[in-house]
Structure 1
Amino acid sequence: MTVIKASCPSCGDVELTPRQVRLVVCSVEDRSFYSFSCSECGDEVKKPAGGDVVALLRTGGVLPERWVIPAEALETHDGPALSHDDLLDFCLWLEQADLVSAAAQGRDRGRPAGESATL
């Protein structure tokens, strides 16, 4: 059986089986990582996995998981961050947009078309 040696920040070197190691290969190489639960202290240890580490772990029998980061998550954003007030204003706008949409469809909000509200 293959033995994989890894390092726990608390315990030092530990020996693991391929099944004890999780390898996540990301579409953005510098976001790939491997993790394991330390057999000595039980802590979850997570470390970056460059191409050489990925190749070594795969050779040792660790099955990689694929992780694709959506392009939107990698976009840079300029401008100030949204505030709580911005979020509340957006919620109020959605409420109005819902009313406008219902009126455009010829129905009251929450009522099927053709059913009228009693005033």
Structure 2
Amino acid sequence: MTTIKASCPSCGDVELTPHQVRLVVCSVKSWSYYAFICTTCHEEVRKPAGRDVVALLISGGVVAEPWNVPAEVLEEHEGPTLNYDDVLDFALWLEQADLLAAAAAAQGPRPRAQAPETAA
């Protein structure tokens, strides 16, 4: 069986099997990483995985998990960051909108207006 050598920032070098290593290959290459639970301190260690590390781990038997980042994550946003008060105001607004929708639904559907006939 293949042995993979990695390093824990607290314990130093550790030896792992391919099943002990999680490899996440992201559509944004700089976000790819591998992670493992240190066999000594039992803490999770997560490190970036460049193209060469990905190839090396796959050749050692580690199964790669694809991670496709939604396009929305990469959009640039302008304006101030939302804060707790903004979220609370929105929740209160939604509550009022629900009451308005319930009142409209209680009245039932309105009949459609018919278009006037035109002479040909």
Q: TM-score range by the shorter chain?
A: 0.7 to 0.9
Query: 1:65-104 counterparts in 2 under 5 A?
Result: 65-104=65-104
Could you tell which deviates more after superposition, 69-78 or 19-28?
69-78
Q: How well do the aligned residues superpose, as a CA RMSD in angstroms?
A: 1.5
TM-score, normalised by the number of residues in structure 1: 0.82
Q: Percent identity?
A: 68
Q: Which residue number corresponds to residue 113 of structure 2? A: none
Query: 1:26-65 counterparts in 2 under 5 A?
Result: 26-65=26-65
**Partners of 2:90 and 2:40 in 1: how far apart?**
50
**Counterpart code for 1:4:** I
- Structure number, greater radius of gyration: 2
**Counterpart code for 1:35:** A
**Offset of 1:106 from its aligned partner?**
2.5
Which consecutive unaligned segments of at least 5 residues does structure 1 have?
Answer: 108-112, 114-119
**Counterpart code for 2:49:** A
**Partners of 2:70 and 2:5 in 1: how far apart?**
33
Runs of 4+ in 1 over 4 A off after TM superposition: none
Q: Which residue number corresponds to residue 117 of structure 2? A: none
Which consecutive unaligned segments of at least 5 residues does structure 2 have?
Answer: 109-120
